[in-house]
Amino acid sequence: MATDIPPHNLSEVAAACIHLLKQPNADLADLCALLPAPDYPTEAEIITPAAELLKIYETGNGSIRMRATYSREKGDIVITALPHQTSSGKIITQIAAQMTAKKLPMIEDLRDESDHENPVRLVIVPRSNRIDIENVMTHLFATTDLERSYRVNLNMIGLDGRPQVKNLKMILGEWLDYRLQTVRRRLEHRLDKIRKRLHLLEGLLIAYLNINEVIAIIRDQDKPKPVLIKKFSLSQVQADAILELRLRQLAKLEEVKIRGEEKTLSKERKSLESTLGSEKKLNNLIIKEINEDVKKYGDSRRSPIVERQQAQAFDDTSIVPSDPISIILSAKGWIRAAKGHEIDPTTLNYRAGDQFADACQGRSNHQAVFLDATGRSYSAAAHSLPSARGQGEPLTGRFTPPNGIGFVHVLFGAPKSDYLLASNAGYGFIVTLENLYTKNKAGKAILTLPQNSKILPPLLMSDPETQYYAVITSAGYLSIVPVSELPRLPRGKGVKLLNIPAKSKNERETVVALKLIKPTTDILTLYVGKRHLTLKERDIEAYTGERSRRGQKLPRGFQKVDRLEVVTQRDDDLFS
């Protein structure tokens, strides 16, 4: 909204400023309120908040932001005014570059229709009438020169001849002092000229009234000047003026004309002396002259002061469609993305000597995270990954992992998703997926691995408050612990998932399986070769304990577990 300050008569503004500046406790905010508002907007808008403008007026330092103005015509966006020192060509180039980079998928076309009648007319054509124009322009204001900032530094030389950063009150106060001095000197200069002219007219009038005698003195005397001065009580200046006149001019001298000019100049002298002798009359004269200058040279403010929301660029998730996709990672670090969640990644074709390693499902507007064998994370926009119609591309083309280190896992989902990261040495912690994001091609250290240990497959957590983790060691121990006992960390080694006794290096016990379960709804199945053991709620309860405990030994014949599976029962199965 534009400021609600009504237009003022400038003479009233000047009078109010002069009066306000005379007060010892003048408030700058009151002074700013006297400034007139624009009558019509013809230039870019000033969007600096009123509080910041007041601070600039108070300190003499700050910055002013200007934003282009636009309107809608038949669904198109028409930009009609640009910030100062901004060209239409540069704006076209900046927007076109974003369209080429596919950062503005909602814009179909861009035209420059500027001509002599419309100096600025840039037309932006949205792809449909469902596009949110306000959001598009907010993005363009943040990423192009449609919005610019201008530094304000009111450093100037004052009446004392020294440079200084001045606030608005100081500037106006010194300007008024300077204006008063200037007008006073001008009036005094004019008054001095009038006085000199009146002095000459007085001498000329004496010459006219005694013209025959003056002519006789000039004709008969060798040095007429001192004679004239003595005879008629003239000054040096008056005598010189009489002697410099030609005879013809003397003849033309007429008392009426001399007295008429003398009367006019005397009246002007009286007026000047009255003005110079009265501060009020001098101020009124200054106000009158300012008002006349405004009528001759002034115009309305062309840049309205308005309040606008802060410009903000689109993030990647807001301009990319949110479609379901599956990301597939091969054993040799090749990556690709397939539309939908129904694809079976094991049935895809892989390069010779390569095979399936890991897969994850999510949305196309999310970030995909990749973990290498050292526990470092790397991230990329999911929509930028190659299609699964081909064999993909190597991640080493996007990232630079340590020499000889491959990628082992892919994590994918909403930024606030929680994952359980763990090593087969028996340490782990909970991490939020967005903490794994990084723009660094060399990755980000996340999971610290003890010597000779490996990363276990990360587990996506649906409900950390009610879930448990089931961990089986190579010694045949099973421990089921509430996930809430694990810490949330951005990076590190983590804590022990269960208590593994310290043994010699050759007999080191490791974690062979790790799964998340809900004891009330899930069934846990252990596979050893072709045999399997199913644990239901009562059995699971027997293996449930605290994180600091060893866990329970599995039955004989099931202590060398090959794999662990969790199956969620349907509601009707729970009561059958």
Q: Is 16 part of a structural domain of the chain?
A: no
Q: Is 4 part of a structural domain of the chain?
A: no
Q: Which of helix, strand or coil describes residue 135?
A: helix
Domain CATH code at residue 193 = 1.10.268.10
Q: Which of helix, strand or coil describes residue 567?
A: strand
Sheet with 69-73: strands ordered across? 69-73, 76-81, 122-126, 107-112
Q: Which of 49, 44, 75 is nearest to 62 (CA)?
A: 49
Report the alpha-carbon distance of residue 71 to residue 74 in Å, rounded.
10
Task: Determine the residue type at 3.
Answer: T
pLDDT of residue 326: 94
Q: By the 8 A CB rule, do 418 and 486 touch?
A: no
pLDDT of residue 500: 87
- How many structural domains does the chain have? 1
Helix 168-209, helix 279-297: angle, nearest 10: 100
Q: Is 191 part of a structural domain of the chain?
A: yes
Q: Which of helix, strand or coil describes residue 115?
A: coil
Give the residue numbers spanning the domain of 217: 170-277
pLDDT of residue 64: 92
Q: What is the 3-state secondary structure (H, E, C) of 132-162?
A: CHHHHHHHHHHHCCCEEEEEEECEEECCCCC
pLDDT of residue 105: 81
Q: Is 511 part of a structural domain of the chain?
A: no
Q: Which of 85, 80, 139 is nearest to 309 (CA)?
A: 139
DSSP state letter for 463: -
Q: Is 178 part of a structural domain of the chain?
A: yes
**Which secondary structure element, helix H or strand E, spans residue 471, and what is its range?**
strand 468-473
**Which secondary structure element, helix H or strand E, spans residue 243, and what is its range?**
helix 236-244
Helix 236-244, helix 224-232: angle, nearest 10: 120
DSSP state letter for 315: P
Q: Is 335 part of a structural domain of the chain?
A: no
Q: Is 35 part of a structural domain of the chain?
A: no
Alpha-carbon separation of residue 278 from 271, 283, 285 (angstroms): 11, 9, 11
Q: By the 8 A CB rule, do 78 and 342 touch?
A: no
pLDDT of residue 571: 45
Instruction: Count Cα atoms within 13 angstroms, Cβ side, for 250.
Output: 20
Q: By the 8 A CB rule, do 354 and 334 touch?
A: yes
pLDDT of residue 59: 92
Q: Is 564 part of a structural domain of the chain?
A: no
What is the DSSP track for 373-427?
TTSEEEEEEGGGSPBTTS--EEGGGT--PPTT--EEEEEES-TT-EEEEEBTTSE
| The pairing of beta strand 418-422 with beta strand 356-363 | unpaired
CA 151 from centroid of its chain's CA atoms? 14
pLDDT of residue 384: 85
Q: Where are the alpha helices (DSSP H) in 496-570?
A: 537-543
Tens digit of pLDDT at every position of the chain (576 positions) = 333 333 444 455 556 666 665 666 656 556 555 555 444 445 788 888 888 888 999 999 999 999 999 999 988 999 999 998 899 999 999 999 988 877 888 889 999 999 988 889 999 999 888 888 888 899 999 999 999 999 999 999 999 999 999 998 899 889 989 999 999 999 999 999 999 999 999 998 888 888 888 888 988 888 999 999 999 999 999 999 888 877 566 556 667 888 888 999 999 999 999 999 999 999 999 999 988 988 888 777 778 888 887 877 776 556 667 789 999 999 999 999 999 999 899 889 999 999 999 999 998 888 999 999 999 999 998 888 998 888 899 999 999 999 999 999 999 999 999 999 999 999 999 999 999 999 999 999 999 999 889 999 999 998 888 899 999 999 899 999 999 999 999 999 999 999 988 774 456 888 888 999 998 888 999 999 889 999 988 888 889 999 989 889 999 888 898 888 988 875 444 433
